[in-house]
Amino acid sequence: MPNKQRYLTLDGMRGVAALLILVRHNDIYFGKFRFNESFLAVDLFFVLSGFVVAGAYSERLRQGLNWRSFMLLRLVRFYPLYLLGTLLGLAAMLGGMLFGRVGEQVTYAEIGASLTLNVFFIPSFFMRDLFPLLTVAWSLFWELLVNFAYSQVWPSLSRKRLLALLACSALSLILAATRCVVDSGSAPGLDSAWMAATRVVFSFGMGLLLQRMPKADFRVPPVLLLGASAIALGFNPQGDFRPLYEICFILLISPALVYLGAASEPKNGLEARLYAFLGAVSYALYVLHKPIGLLLSIAFKHLVHVGVAHFAPWSGLVLIAVLLAICGILDRYYDGPARRWLLTKV
């Protein structure tokens, strides 16, 4: 595995963003507590990914790491938890069909076809979602694509060319927003693909640029940055201001948070350990929160005959605690060992 500098504040921000997405996709557990703009956490993830990938791999690419090996390393990073999430998503969908959970009507043939494609990271273009068994996987798919593009163009990606790419992708993002809503990347279709591509290219490219820039010469208390991330993702703009806010978050707020977070490490040992834990479980939390939440809600309703919504928001706090524990265990005993085993095979 590459040697990487640890950015604990960025880890904490990643964890906070994953928690807000958890609330978004398991709204029945939380009642009135909703975060309409929390989907923008994906754009924050893309900036973080570009920043971390450039720091971890740019020197190795210069030293001869070929693009095939690079993509295998990136795929190994994603795949164990992605596969587990897909299988849990399959169980949740079948459980919903068997126990009468209200939802999208799909056939067993469509489920089988989606499973066959999705386990190979191939989207299900014939379904409402590109990855119906694990809907959040659309962002992983696009991240793999932008990682591949980076592996091809990095030798010629000077700062001037990177700035030109960012300018073009920012303009494309604004134009795409006139055709469809920003939160449309998980759906098939040309407009959705245009929106998703511009989001990932701009945000990942901004992460590359931030890695090349000198660090900020001042420190912001990390807890303020985590709070600012939560507020920015939990903001609820109304009417015509909503798409404007979403574009501003992608173009300005998200890169600013990462830039400041990279220069603002925690000084307290307990705070540092908390951020390290949030970073360690953030990916598992992002990939597994929805299928596990669905499975638990189906099982609870079947066994107790009362929906989890009846106990909101306390049921949501229990769900967060359960998921954090599960993700911590999986990080230590499944994801890490599985990735190390896969690395011996590629």
Say what the alpha-carbon torsion angle 208, 209, 213, 217 is, to the nearest 10 degrees: -90
Number of Cα atoms under 13 Å in the Cβ half of residue 310: 8
Q: Average pLDDT of the chain?
A: 93
Q: Residue 101: what pLDDT?
A: 60
222-234 vs 269-304: helix crossing angle, rounded to 10? 30
Q: Which residue blocks in the chain are alpha helix, DSSP H?
A: 8-25, 41-62, 67-98, 108-118, 137-153, 159-176, 190-212, 222-234, 241-248, 254-262, 269-304, 314-330, 336-343
Q: Residue 104: what pLDDT?
A: 57
Residues 40 and 252: beta-carbon distance below 8 Å: no
How far apart CA 194 and CA 169 sit, in angstroms, is: 10
Number of Cα atoms under 13 Å in the Cβ half of residue 5: 11
How far apart CA 343 and CA 76 sit, in angstroms, is: 7
Q: Could you report the average pLDDT of every consecutive run of 10 residues in the chain (346 residues)?
A: 73 97 94 87 97 93 92 96 97 86 75 96 94 96 97 91 97 94 89 95 97 92 96 90 94 97 94 96 97 94 90 95 97 95 86
Q: Residue 120: what pLDDT?
A: 95
- Nearest in space to 216 (alpha carbons), one of 276, 260, 171, 182: 260
- CA 118 remoteness from chain centre: 17
Residues 37 and 246: beta-carbon distance below 8 Å: yes
Which two structure tokens, joined as six digits, stand for 327? 């993700």
How far apart CA 188 and CA 171 sit, in angstroms, is: 22
